[in-house]
Structure 1
């Protein structure tokens, strides 16, 4: 973790080399970007490299394939077909032709929306596939509430949960607090808007948390993005229908989406906790009890960290570009401002997600790749390739497993170290300490140096992972 943290700290705090490498460093690459709208980018940070190792080559490749489909097929294709056209039916702010736009602008105004549609449809598909699980979970809860769930005195360890009555009481109290928050603050005392919002939030959270928990349990990924985007689209359409629009409507939809997103994240994260508890011999009831304390502590600290990061870097672009949050803004703004939404592009993404599902290709992973910037997807494949290389070099399966586990520890250290040092660097900038030479970062040689440093980091990662006792 120390190597990864130090590496990212040097980049974020001192700017010894650029965080991203692009093909624009040479004249040929610049010409390709301007004329053919073809560009290649890679983030050279340790944290994203470690994340790619943990994700694995299979899913990393699918995510990157979605990204390459956008950046190397859709964006150049749109420029070639509609180069002389101004496509602004849903966004009057667009005044230039597609051909005059940079690849990044075409991605921002058009291609990204296809990814949003794909993510949303992948969430719908996840709910449909999990419907039987939702029904069985409701049935079990109803039995326990009716006093039929604990007939046997001896319950195995893995089935010892908190009483459903306690959960029901806690849920009711939480719902009441949310109602008060919505009524007194978000909805400005409008009872109709509050009731509609609560029904939407409660119903969607109930359905989607099952999907999130099931997704984590089976494949280790949580489709929070798609389901939150679906929530925002549905919330925006419904709230506009009942008369809430404009800036206040955007805030309301964002808060509603935030409540659902928090529920999904908590559900998915706790399933991972239960997995670990199962291996360690813990009981779900004890973990559920202590989870309340963890939730309170995280709620009290994470918000402050996010405020510092937002004031220092911002989440709209650059190193801390938040793809899901930007997608939410992209979805809400046209719906709430009356401009209109790019439904055609959403529909193309949705159809693509269905086709991918029929072809047995993970639609969510592919759609996320279409939405997340290229420079953040390429390093996932690099990390996944390191994983594959480390775990296949020996004919001894146990040795490969040991190396893979060592790599997982290093990758986790890269992520944790990079995140921790990133917060420290942000705190320094927030306090007015900025040691980065912006003029050097604008020099193409800073990108060349970044590629060299990245290659050395990868070599260290491979060598350290393969060195086991």
Structure 2
């Protein structure tokens, strides 16, 4: 029996975004029996290259923002652009499954880097760095990745198939939409590459030419000095394209939750800790500095951040 032919993909079906009705079945864009190029030398080579490149990029953003990113999203954009370039050069364009393999391989960069950046520093905080070496730093993320894959195999069917539509998976949905858009080709794929170029230009102007500050803060406004120095209330806003794109991807609801937590921290907890600490000559807890000599950012870093952790 011949394998079913894959029709031209025009977009995700409506039931990809919602819970399935009783008896309704979600049909994948590419049937399991379809013969489509997937694991190819091109996909593996490009995926490994993206892993190396985005390991450095994900480390930078995680250390700068304190929050990791889903590297599969920009990697999917680059994979789509690479496929479009091959088409213009008269070569075979990559299939959606090949682009998916590239994104899947490259996505391991964000996962491993996230675990390393947020977990491995604990070794130095606990003063155990003299007992660790390259082998440990390599083996811990590697074994963690293996363990994650082994746990993902049984959980994937339950969380992805049986709970279809109940969990948002915003970043995975964005990656899928990018791959589908690239399969459609034309101006839709151009929008993705144009958005990436615009983000690069904005960050380059801010960091390279100092056209504006990467982080806006009321501490630089003289009229807000009373709030900053006396009440220890401060407002900061990161203007980088990465943060704006991350907020767009996770959506208004989850961005609002993060924003509410930030307002609670900087406008309620930091001033409250500063007010209480002003009456105590020593630190509020053993090993922490006195609050009286700290600014708003230092109060957050030494005391309030522990609440979130």
The TM tier, using the shorter chain, reads 0.5 to 0.7
**Given the alignment of the two structures, is residue 370 of structure 1 paired with residue 248 of structure 2, yes or no?**
yes
Say whether the 8 Å CA contact 1:228–1:257 is kept in structure 2. yes
**Alpha-carbon offset, residue 312 of structure 1:** 3.1
Equivalent residue, structure 2, for 1:383: 261
Q: Distance in 2 between matches of 1:251 and 1:345?
A: 18
Q: Distance in 2 between matches of 1:263 and 1:352?
A: 21
Output one character per residue of 1:197-232: Cα deviation in whole Å (capped at 9) or x when no partner.
233222222222112223323432334345333343
Equivalent residue, structure 2, for 1:260: 106
Select the residue among 22, 37, 41 that pairs with 1:187: 37
Question: Which sections of structure 1, spanning at least 5 residues, go unmatched?
Answer: 1-90, 94-103, 105-184, 410-469
**Given the alignment of the two structures, is residue 202 of structure 1 paired with residue 48 of structure 2, yes or no?**
yes
Question: Which sections of structure 2, spanning at least 5 residues, go unmatched?
Answer: 1-8, 12-16, 18-34, 207-211, 215-238, 285-298
Select the residue among 57, 63, 69 that pairs with 1:211: 57
Q: Distance in 2 between matches of 1:250 and 1:376?
A: 29
Change (3 A) 1:194 1:265: same
Change (3 A) 1:274 1:348: closer
Q: Distance in 2 between matches of 1:383 and 1:272?
A: 20
Equivalent residue, structure 2, for 1:392: 271
**Alpha-carbon offset, residue 300 of structure 1:** 0.4
Change (3 A) 1:238 1:205: farther
Equivalent residue, structure 1, for 2:115: 269
SS in 1 for 2:142: helix
Q: Distance in 1 between matches of 2:74 and 2:185?
A: 23
Equivalent residue, structure 2, for 1:279: 125
Select the residue among 121, 146, 152 that pairs with 1:296: 146
Q: Which protein has greater RCO, CA pairs closer than 8 Å, 6+ apart?
A: 1
Q: Distance in 2 between matches of 1:220 and 1:264?
A: 13
Say whether the 8 Å CA contact 1:200–1:235 is kept in structure 2. no
Q: How many positions carry a matched residue from both structures?
A: 219
**Given the alignment of the two structures, is residue 227 of structure 1 paired with residue 85 of structure 2, yes or no?**
no
